[in-house]
Each structure stands twice: as structure tokens, then as C-alpha cells.
Amino acid sequence: MSFTVACSSNEKNQVDTQELPEFTLEELAEYDGKEGKPAYIAVDGIIYDVTDVREWKDGQHNGFEAGKDLTEAIKNQSPHGVSKLKNIKAVGKLVD
């Protein structure tokens, strides 16, 4: 299975999630970037590792926190939308 993440009207980012581990929302919450933990965010069912992204220092970026599904925020509030995710490593997929 793969998800398509739209980056702009003419550009798409394909992420193959077949080999990626599955995370529940509760498991994702453990990756909040605090106290030395990795910082992960979920968008469109894909979990991205933002640990080494300078803008996500300590698991926070512009009022948003790592360890959460940020699909709505990234798509509807972020000025860059999902375009920045094409350079971020996918580390998992979100499941119910």
C-alpha cells in the first residue's frame, strides 16, 4: 500500500508504506520530542520523523507539537502545506 501526499497542484510525493511499522495515536504520542525522545508527526496516515528538523526543536513548531496527527493543521493552517514533507523521512503509518 502507498499513500500519495500532494505537495502542490503539479507535484506529488509517493511514500511506500508497505515496509513501515504501524503506530496507533497512543504510540505516536510517545514521540513528542521532549526529554531526548524522537519527534514524529503524522500527516495523511504517514508518520514523519522531524527530530532533526531545526524548526521542530524540542518537538514544537509554530504552536504545534510532535507526537500528534497534524493532518488538519498542516493542510489547512500551515503556510507551506505538505510541501516540506517531501524531504522528511517517513518512519511509519498511522492505524486506528
Q: Would strands 90-94 and 46-49 be described as parallel, antiparallel, or unpaired?
A: antiparallel
Q: How many CB atoms lie within 10 A of CB 54?
A: 7
pLDDT digits (tens, 9 = 90+) for 24-77: 999 999 999 999 999 999 999 999 999 999 999 999 999 999 999 999 999 998
Query: Could you name the CATH architecture of 2-94?
Result: Roll (3.10)
pLDDT digits (tens, 9 = 90+) for 32-42: 999 999 999 99
Cell 504545534 found at: 64
Instruction: Enter the pTM of the model.
Output: 0.81
pLDDT value of position 9: 35
Checking if the pLDDT of 14 tops 70, the result is no
